[in-house]
Amino acid sequence: MKLVIAIVNSDDVSTVIRNLSQNGFSSTSLATTGGFLMRKNVTLLIGVDEEKVPAVLDIIKEHSHSRKQMIPASSGMGHGFMPGMPVEVNVGGATIFVVDVEQFQRI
């Protein structure tokens, strides 16, 4: 058993969840915030048998799109004032971790 942890853009997450569900994959979504841009994203937890991990990753890849976001010139970003021109940041479609699950139980 594996746990897929996928950090997905808020704009894509409903499509990703719907397609996971239509293909028989359960997921739990957590409201999260990126540490760099300090913008909301969603972290999906998907428990799945090891042989089905590629199918889960394919669904996430198909429905997660990379996009450019601007950081305002005077944005704090949690690190204080940042003077200068707005900066364009390329935010990836999804950030994915796959970890081993020691035990899985539904009680």
Nearer to ligand 2BA, 22 or 90 (CB): 90
Strand 28-33 versus strand 67-71 pairing type:
unpaired
Look-up of token digits 């009680």 = 107
**Is the separation of the CB atoms in 60 and 39 below 8 Å?**
no
Rounded to whole angstroms, how far apart are CA atoms 68 and 62? 18
Question: Which residue has the closest beta carbon to ligand 2BA?
Answer: 34
Tell the smallest beta-carbon distance from residue 99 to ligand 2BA (Å).
12
Nearer to ligand 2BA, 52 or 91 (CB): 91
Nearer to ligand 2BA, 20 or 42 (CB): 42
